[in-house]
Amino acid sequence: MPTSSKNTGANAPTGRAADAEVLQGSNRPGAAGLENLPPVRSSASASESVVRSAGIVSLAVFMSRITGLLRESVMARLFGAGLIYDAFMLGFRIPNLTRDLFAEGALSSAFVPTFTEYLSLRGKEEAARLVNLVATALIIVVGTLCALGMVFAPFLVHLLAPGYAAVPGKFELAVKMTRIMFPFLLLVALAAQAMGVLNASNRFGVPALASTFFNIGSVGFGVVIGIVLGPTLHVTRIEGMAIGVVLGGALQLIWQLPSMARLGFRFHPIFDWSHPGLVRIFQLMVPAILGNAAVQINVMVNTNFASTISDPLRGMDGPVSWLSYAFRFMQLPLGLFGVAMASATLPSISRSAAAGDIDEFRRTLSKSLGMVFLLTIPSSVGLIILGKSIIGGIYQGGRFQVYDTRQTAVALSCYAIGLAGYAALKVLNPAFYALGDARIPMLVSLASVAINFGTAEAMIRLTNLGHAGLAMSTSVVALFGFVVLFLILRARIGGLHGRELVSGVGKVLVASGAMGAVIALSSHEMERWLGLSQMAHLADLAVSIPLGLLVFYAGCRALSVSELDLAIRAAVAPIQRRLIGARRT
């Protein structure tokens, strides 16, 4: 095994002994059995395996994001950007804030490393017991949280959006939406645990597709209940869509259960609050919850600011919706590249950490970050330049007017500035949890609260950017968090191949700049020729996106960007496997 670069003195331990020094203090059960682990793969093969897995996840996430955009498009055409959709989004956001806090955020980060370690070192039987313990605890704890959230919904709505009380009927509708959708939290918490089990078992496609079933289910059930059966059931359209969210969450969980059963993981309620694995997950979750709480405080602060912004044309209605629609588009590249890489990276680096192989840990993480930057930097440029055509092509029409397109596109441009930092955080945060350290991400997140509040206040009061200033503050916080966590982790593990990363990012920036210049020119000409209709926006995208991809690819080839071939193989491999499988059948 290669010698860790962290210790270079004459008496420095080498191989796994050196790696164990870097990983000490993580208090991992079963560490004494490391010598019985099977040989780990080389860093290069592990990195490529992660990227291939990320390619599978990206394809599934792409379907999820596309169906998510279709869901948002249906909502935009039915409700536009105003009182009803503002109230719905707040009602949806409140359980989502708690979901990020307890479920997909803290739970995933604490559960996956612990479960991976149990699966690797203690066997499937012990791992299955841990799964059942966690699921039972979730049902009790999160179920209670849902009940409390429904009872105290008026307080939560007032806390997040005090400006809603100034608009007749808006506050009351937001309270009703919150109460209907709060059970979604329990369903998504259990779905997040199932996703962690499948990812740690190297099953990436099914959990990545779970969100697709949520999007399809939420719209399908919502339309049937709110529109088709609404008059019969005495349910309004927006109430039907809220019920659809809960049923879509159930479908998201049910979709993953057969895959878990095939792996031998079936739910049986077990109560053992003193189980060391469960205790360790709770110990990791406490600082993770505090860290995620900081993120949610930032969301609350920005929502609070947005609810008080008075638009010159729309008054108090619009800013919350514009920010929501814009961030939905941010979710597409963030999910395709940031979340996909994080989902594939966490089980791999957790295995490296459990095995004490810091060299593989370092190389895998560095390659993952390189891939994130290769994919998100040009995405940011594209969102900034083509934002108006993207928003107009998908949402414009019905009650979503040209003015809404412009305001949403401005917010999207500001969000896009921080896309690379946001995606990199999705990879860096779990790296600390894999090392058994949830304290550092927590402290950085808490520091971001002050930065976000100061930046948001300055953007609103000093720059007069309105809702776009809030999107900009989100980008500033994401870039700050990335830089700080990267520097700390680099010092912690003795380097992250920083020179290679900087060189690669520089080349990607040059290629992205060339791409941006070309698509800016093409988009301007298309607008001058065709105008601002929805079809004109779609035509612009049909021309500018392929042209931009071609220019970016040529630029990366000319500059010899090393991650390009790896990205292409990751994208093509799942398709090749399906074609080969189809030929054999």
Q: Quick one: pLDDT band at residue 52, thresholds 50, 70, 90?
A: low
Confidence class of residue 363 from pLDDT cuts 50, 70 and 90? confident
Query: Residue 97: pLDDT band by 50, 70, 90 thresholds?
Result: low
Residue 371 has a pLDDT of 86
Q: Which residue has the higher pLDDT, 435 or 310?
A: 435
pLDDT band, residue 55 (cuts 50/70/90): low
Give per-residue pLDDT as tens, 41-50: 444 455 556 6
User: Would you say residue 463 has pLDDT above 90?
Assistant: no
pLDDT reported for residue 22: 45
- Asked whether the whole model's pTM tops 0.75, one would answer no
The pLDDT score that the predictor gives to residue 154 is 92
Task: Judge contact between 167 and 188, C-beta under 8 A.
Answer: no
Say how many C-beta atoms besides its own lie within 10 A of residue 62's C-beta.
16
Q: How many CA atoms lie within 13 A of 266 on its CB side?
A: 4
pLDDT at site 479: 92
pLDDT of residue 485: 93
What pLDDT does residue 434 have?
A: 80
User: Which segment of 68-77, 136-145, 228-237, 483-492 scores lowest on mean pLDDT?
Assistant: 68-77
Per-residue pLDDT tens for 391-419? 888 877 777 788 888 888 998 999 999 99
Pick from 211-215, 371-375, 457-461: least confident: 457-461
Are residues 23 and 356 in contact, defined by beta-carbon separation less than 8 angstroms? yes
Beta bridge partners of 311: 315
Q: In angstroms, rounded to a whole number, what is the distance separating the alpha carbons of residues 553 and 214?
A: 34
CA distances in angstroms from 233 to 226, 237, 239, 242, listed in the order given = 9, 11, 11, 14
492, two tokens: 């912690």
Number of helices (H), then strands (E), in the chain: 22, 0
Residue type, 133: L
DSSP string, 501-536: HHHHHHHHHHHHHHHHHHHHHHHHHHHHHH-SSHHH
Phi, psi (5° rounding) for residue 357? Answer: -100, 85
Please state the rounded mean pLDDT for residues 241-270: 92
Answer left, alpha or beta for residue 166, where phi above 0 means left and psi between -120 and 50 means alpha: alpha
Question: pLDDT digit string (tens) for 103-155?
Answer: 556 677 778 888 888 888 888 889 999 999 999 998 998 899 899 999 999 99
C-alpha to C-alpha distance for 447 and 105, rounded to whole angstroms: 18
Range scoring the smallest mean pLDDT among 20-29, 105-114, 153-162, 317-326: 20-29
Task: Please provide the average confidence, as pLDDT, over all residues in the chain.
Answer: 80
Query: Beta strands of 163-216 (E only): which ranges?
Result: none
**Three-state secondary-structure class, residue 402:** helix
Q: How far apart are CA 272 and CA 341, in angstroms?
A: 34
Look at residue 89 and tell me whether its pLDDT is greater than 70: yes
User: For the chain, how are helix, strand and coil distributed in percent, rounded to 5?
Assistant: 85, 0, 15
As a whole number of angstroms, the distance between CA 373 and CA 176 comes to 41
